[in-house]
Structure 1
Amino acid sequence: MKFEVRDRFYMDDEPFKIISGSIHYFRVVPEYWRDRLEKLKALGCNTVETYIAWNMHEPEKGRFRFDGMLDVERFVKLAGELGLYVILRPSPYICAEWELGGLPPWLLSEDGMRFRVYYPPYLKHVREYYEVLMAKLRPLQIDQGGPVIMMQIENEYGSYANDKKYLEWLRDLMRELGITVPLCTSDGPTHDMLHGGTIDGVLATANFGSRVEEAFGYLSKFRPNSPLMCMEFWIGWFDAWGNEKHMIGDLEMAEGELDKMLELGNVNFYMFEGGTNFGFMNGANYYEGLTPDVTSYDYDAILTEDGQITEKYRRFKKIIGKYREIPKIELTTDIKRIDYGVLPVQEKVSLFSVLEELSAPIENTFPQPMEKLGQSYGYILYHTDLRTEEHLRRLQLRGANDRAQVFVDKKPVVTLMDKELLEERELDVSFDRGADMDILVENLGRVNFALRLEEQRKGISGGVWLNGHWHNGWRQYPLPLDNLDKLDFSKDYQEGLPAFYRFTFEAAETGDTFLDFAGWGKGVVFVNGVNLGRFWDIGPQKRLYLPGPLLKDGSNEIILFETEGRAGASIALRNEPDIG
């Protein structure tokens, strides 16, 4: 088959209207890919779009992963089997409210690293990644018998920089590595964004959530005689920790905008299904202050986070039906919600009791950030002794991101977040000379958009300014929490301190459920060894989605790492979500 970009899109020389929806394979367990794709086709879509997250596929330099949830080839082939075309967005940067916009944090271990410009050390890493990735994507293109009709070279680049040499290099590299389908960019529909983010010979598309006629009007003036495509029709929005409530879009307005969009051009829904920021993969934004995103990426999408059909789905389907015949699709995946009830705490142990089992300390005169220690995600604990002090009066953590809890003699002293880390804090803490000081720093999720991308080293990169001088001599404990099998729950537990809590339950059958953490403070949840994501009592998310395929028939284990010393006596697994 042949897909072409001319005055409009053509499939084998016949005009073709793209009606697409975004599903990020890395936000959905693979056991549910078929269900989500079947529901996409049943909506009337003929195409699925997905980003490809570099940080997931190359978590360490030179170590690549394409298994399980990261088997992008399987996802694309499955879409093709179901009769769907595919748009891939494999650009090094994806934004997507994803940790560092998909850029791997190990890039930040190199001093002077510059992102998303013609900077040879960065380009070298992109090339080495693309040589592996494009070899997998090449056979999936439509002119090779696969379903992929288009790929993106960069994402919203006009909102970051305007280095045309870099964009041309990306285009030429993809062509060199065998990508033959049409290429595209996507930017906001404004003068600066489009002029900064596009290059000749590559389709320009736009991202927006309203004012379709105005946006398409500008796009048609910018690129006359070119297809009009909204690559991201924002039909919802994402949530940040501390929001008053879950973000919900204006459905009536979206209906009208969709009708006009399909009349004038082509659409990709962002998101068809948002899915979940599993693990430590949520991104963050920084405008007036740091706003890390919640674990749910529900996005008020057409399907809910757990794949349920919504009123938005039903209304959009009617509008799409005006422009194409809706196929009848039988849904083949049996999915149920199950309430497993209340689970009491069975075992618990303090972080300080098992620190040496979980991490091998690295000593240094000054504290170092995670990236310099070979760590990307999670927490890091800095330990020292106050050998020259008997009173803590002033404290400042220089070059610290994002949230730090300070302990003296294993007692909480102060918690600092974001801008509070920039200021010298007045304190009044007495202790015996030689007392321990511990600073537990959490990477809340790296900023994924705008000008702070290169400032995302986590932990402490400057130093600790204590009572008017630098404090030296640190033991640093990286805590990515990827080795909880080493936990020894027979060791000491103290209330009010960071700790691990263990739960078990028997499942006669497995199904989707929602972990209710009412009564707990802040932390992260592991289910049968899988990092489910973060919880935080400030909301708006009140329950974490737990997909049924992560559970086992029979015995299951849940471990909570809670950092605030606010622990409940139990958790619950309910059959309804609560995302605020």
Structure 2
Amino acid sequence: MKKGNPQIPFLKIVPLKFIAALLVCFVFLATLSLPCVAQESFKVGDKTFLLNNKPFVIKAAEIHYPRIPKEYWEHRIEMCKALGMNTICLYVFWNYHEPEEGKYDFKGQKDIASFCRLAQKHHLYVIVRPGPYVCAEWEMGGLPWWLLKKKDIKLRKLDSYYMDRVGLFMNQVGKELADLQITKGGNIIMVQVENEYGSFGVDKPYVSAIRDMVKKAGFTDVPLFQCDWSSNFENNALDDLLWTVNFGTGANIQKQFERLQQLRPNTPLMCSEYWSGWFDHWGAKHETRSAQELVKGMKEMLDKNISFSLYMTHGGTSFGHWGGANFPNFSPTCTSYDYDAPINESGKVTPKYFEVRELLKKYLPDGESLEQVPDSIGTITIPSFELNEVAPVFDNLPVAKRSKDIQSMEFFDQGWGSILYRTILEKSNEEQMLIITEAHDWTQIFIDGKKVGTLNRLKGENRIKLPPVKEGARLDILVEAMGRMNFGAGIYDWKGITEKVELKSTSELQKLKDWFVYNLPVDYNFVSKKKYEQNIRTDGMPAYFKGSFVIDKPGDTFLDMTGWGKGLVWVNGHSMGRYWKIGPQQTLYVPGCWLKEGENEVIVLDMVPSKQTLKGLRQPILDALDGSGAQIHRKQDENLNLKDETPVYEGRFREGNGWQQVKFGKQLPARYFCIEALNAYNESDYASIAELEILGANGQKISRQHWKIVYADSEETEAANNLATNIFDLQESTIWHTRYTKEKTKYPHSIVIDLGEDVLISGFSYLPRVEQNKPGMIKDYRIYVSTKPYKLK
């Protein structure tokens, strides 16, 4: 017999049901002791946004994660917070995340969810703009190049192939970001549907389909919105979306929202892109905008409870091949996306930053104060160093492909870079004209390895004389693709040679066939595996150059490309972007986080080399032109002769902002359109126009895609980029303005446009500059039209 207390199982004494009930009670009592946490929400209220049911004014900073090294993301976000912003606004770049069809990448530098979480860490909300089209001066407006492999594709339309791919991509975006909506514990408060579609077309069914895709991707818990300009937002406005408008510094803000308030008097107002500056084009002056005008506009919006997103607060850099081009006139944008923003390209504060910060600190919620401005990233200089290893392009060609007819780059499954077309010529004892239709974008022609000349798409060049050639002479056409156009119909921008190559002699016009084709992509793996040798002469022929520099401590720097020709640069495998001697940008920003202690490798592809040394500067050079860029549309001492011409219409514009439409009351055949301004409302000698549209026989706008300026009596190019081509660049914030520096001219002022085809016209629409109280508002005018060129004397 065992001694001691008997071992009676606990469960035999206490029933299981009693234990379960006891646990439920404990859980209930515990919940009573927890604080009550309200669910986060963001809604559209009566004339205001509501954050957790309280009025909220959005002060958003637009910044783009691909244009900032991931290592610097948090620094730039902190800079925006210290500026006084409460929200980050960002695009999602489709072609950045799906560079090859069906292969998605949201890791590392492309980890957009991590970017949003960093913003949340610093108590900033996020507005997501997933496109699929984003513009942003980005290659093809964010659309993937491989869409163009389908030659009959309809982009930004209800094309089945296109829409299927949009849906697949949008679902991927939803997998990354939908769980970060504010109702789910994240910080996303709004999502945009498409982007400025009114500047592309009128197609509500398409915009509706994109809206449905955004919802299907999981963005159902926050307001969806669409942005456009005040002049076109009604064209595609959907009843169930919030409407916002975009405009820049100096705009008449009351006028910008006038029509929107008439249609929706109780809607919250928001400027979804308030342009702080502007982007730079190769060959044109560096763009700047007034800090005082910027702050003045922001103050007016804040005083009127109008939300805004400052585009850009920090522009950054279009590294690699990602810089786009403007439309209708092909005008590629620079690598630097400095934008004259408050935070400059390399993340440093500017005088504009402190002026904006001084304003925003006055509009903080009660009890809050601005955070301290983060320290800038340190900069270093790099002494001059040699790139003494050389790999000539023509000696390092890949395996050729064969093609009977000329084909674009996309046909050969190449998205970016350069492409070489080679064929054999028959003997000719005379000069012949080589005609290329069309070469996109910068083309060099060689006969038997010797350069004959260059064709520049910026200048509309498409033909060149060839010298007499022997039988079997080798014709090489090397085409460098720059960024695909990112605006309007320009997104259909095939690269390489898109149609045909012809030889014209005195006796015949021959279409060239039987091509060897060499693809030269921009991948680091491709450029790094060339056969580099020392002490090789290039004699100005395209070549890769390799060298290195040694540093003790990494820091940001700016590679000085002054004296180099045209090409791309890679540092430690990272593509820094394009350079071009025509300027205005003469340096390339190199983030210190991509450098290392000790030896650092540099590879340069130069299409017209004449130099082999580089150095690193502490400051960028962003406004140095060499004079071969922007083209004035008037030769010296040239004048338009309208003496024998009869105007088809004479009139007077009304004073003030906004579009004005003029109808002739008849149809007129035209190829050339001339507007002659006779005087201005402020009695100055200046004239300006923001946009001009011409009405066809049916009263609808005719296409501006092939327009060219034949003559402009005066254009400002030194103090600003106010070329006459701005009157049809589809950008309401850019203008033609007569010279107000040297050689100032007086009224009358004239512009002649070649419409590119014979059409019937019935009138025109005119938009004065959007800024208030600025000179150059045209008063009286005459219109001339002709089917033949006007006389110039």
Scaled by the length of structure 2, the TM-score of the pair is: 0.70
Q: 1:436 aligns with which of 448, 451, 474?
A: 474
Structure-1 residue corresponding to 2:454: 415
1:344 aligns with 2:386: yes
Q: Deviations over 1:270-317 (max 9, x none)?
A: 001000011111111133x32110110000001000011111111111
Structure-2 residue corresponding to 1:51: 91
Structure-1 residue corresponding to 2:266: 225
Q: CA deviation at 1:170?
A: 1.1
Structure-2 residue corresponding to 1:570: 613
Q: Check whether the contact 2:383–2:615 (CA below 8 A) recurs between aligned residues.
A: yes
Counterparts of residues 68-87 of structure 1 (less than 5 Å): 68-87=108-127
Unpaired runs of 5+ in structure 1? Answer: none
Q: Check whether the contact 1:98–1:281 (CA below 8 A) recurs between aligned residues.
A: yes
**Distance in 1 between the 2:124 and 2:340 partners?**
23
Q: Check whether the contact 1:389–1:434 (CA below 8 A) recurs between aligned residues.
A: no
Q: Check whether the contact 2:545–2:612 (CA below 8 A) recurs between aligned residues.
A: no
Structure-2 residue corresponding to 1:459: 496
Matching residue's letter, 2:455 = L
Structure-1 residue corresponding to 2:593: 549
Matching residue's letter, 1:522 = K
Q: CA deviation at 1:349?
A: 2.2
Q: Check whether the contact 1:369–1:461 (CA below 8 A) recurs between aligned residues.
A: yes
Q: Check whether the contact 1:345–1:503 (CA below 8 A) recurs between aligned residues.
A: yes
SS at match of 1:100: helix
1:540 aligns with 2:581: no
Structure-2 residue corresponding to 1:513: 557
Q: Check whether the contact 1:33–1:75 (CA below 8 A) recurs between aligned residues.
A: yes
Q: Check whether the contact 2:79–2:374 (CA below 8 A) recurs between aligned residues.
A: no
Matching residue's letter, 2:478 = L
Q: 1:501 aligns with which of 540, 545, 559?
A: 545
**Distance in 1 between the 2:171 and 2:83 partners?**
36
Q: Deviations over 1:61-99 (max 9, x none)?
A: 001111222110110011011100000000110000111
Structure-1 residue corresponding to 2:415: 376
| Identity score, percent | 39
**Distance in 2 between the 1:334 and 1:215 partners?**
37
Matching residue's letter, 1:254 = L
Q: Deviations over 1:496-546 (max 9, x none)?
A: 100111120112111100000111111111111111111111111111111
**Distance in 2 between the 1:346 and 1:451 partners?**
44
Structure-2 change in CA distance of 1:519 and 1:135 (3 Å) = same
Tell me the matched-pair count: 570
**Distance in 2 between the 1:378 and 1:275 partners?**
22
**Distance in 1 between the 2:145 and 2:361 partners?**
44
1:202 aligns with 2:244: no
Q: CA deviation at 1:223?
A: 2.5
Q: Which has the higher contact order (CA 8 A, sep 6+)?
A: 1
Q: CA deviation at 1:165?
A: 0.7
Matching residue's letter, 1:375 = Q
Matching residue's letter, 1:430 = P
Q: 1:211 aligns with which of 224, 241, 252?
A: 252
SS at match of 1:248: coil
Structure-2 residue corresponding to 1:401: 440
Matching residue's letter, 1:450 = G
Structure-2 change in CA distance of 1:364 and 1:142 (3 Å) = same
| Bigger shift: residues 567-576 or 39-48 | 567-576
**Distance in 2 between the 1:572 and 1:500 partners?**
17
**Distance in 2 between the 1:570 and 1:401 partners?**
30
1:19 aligns with 2:71: no
Q: Check whether the contact 1:493–1:499 (CA below 8 A) recurs between aligned residues.
A: no
1:294 aligns with 2:334: yes
**Distance in 1 between the 2:466 and 2:202 partners?**
50
| Bigger shift: residues 479-488 or 303-312 | 479-488
Matching residue's letter, 2:266 = N
SS at match of 1:394: strand
SS at match of 2:318: coil
Q: Check whether the contact 1:25–1:33 (CA below 8 A) recurs between aligned residues.
A: yes
Structure-2 change in CA distance of 1:420 and 1:302 (3 Å) = closer
Q: Deviations over 1:142-199 (max 9, x none)?
A: 1111010001011000111111111111111221221111101110111xx1112321
Counterparts of residues 26-175 of structure 1 (less than 5 Å): 26-175=66-215
Q: CA deviation at 1:115?
A: 1.1
Q: Deviations over 1:250-271 (max 9, x none)?
A: 1211121110011121010000
Matching residue's letter, 2:275 = W
Matching residue's letter, 2:166 = V
Q: CA deviation at 1:384?
A: 1.5
**Distance in 1 between the 2:578 and 2:310 partners?**
27
Q: CA deviation at 1:330?
A: 4.8
Q: Flag the structure with higher helix content.
A: 1
**Distance in 1 between the 2:274 and 2:55 partners?**
22
Q: CA deviation at 1:387?
A: 4.1
Structure-2 residue corresponding to 1:318: 358
Structure-2 change in CA distance of 1:395 and 1:195 (3 Å) = same
**Distance in 2 between the 1:51 and 1:82 partners?**
20
1:278 aligns with 2:327: no
Structure-1 residue corresponding to 2:694: none
**Distance in 2 between the 1:203 and 1:172 partners?**
15
SS at match of 1:276: coil
Q: Deviations over 1:92-119 (max 9, x none)?
A: 1000011110000110110211111222
SS at match of 2:78: helix
Task: Answer with 1 or 2: which has the greater Rg.
Answer: 2
Q: CA deviation at 1:44?
A: 0.9
Matching residue's letter, 1:549 = C
| Bigger shift: residues 381-390 or 89-98 | 381-390
| Bigger shift: residues 25-34 or 212-221 | 212-221
Q: CA deviation at 1:389?
A: 4.6
Q: CA deviation at 1:224?
A: 2.0
Q: Check whether the contact 2:361–2:370 (CA below 8 A) recurs between aligned residues.
A: no
Q: Check whether the contact 2:225–2:241 (CA below 8 A) recurs between aligned residues.
A: yes
Structure-2 residue corresponding to 1:5: 44
SS at match of 1:95: coil
SS at match of 1:500: strand
1:579 aligns with 2:622: yes
Q: CA deviation at 1:138?
A: 1.0
Q: Check whether the contact 1:61–1:106 (CA below 8 A) recurs between aligned residues.
A: yes
Q: CA deviation at 1:121?
A: 1.6
Scaled by the length of structure 1, the TM-score of the pair is: 0.95
Structure-2 residue corresponding to 1:445: 483
Q: Check whether the contact 2:173–2:217 (CA below 8 A) recurs between aligned residues.
A: no
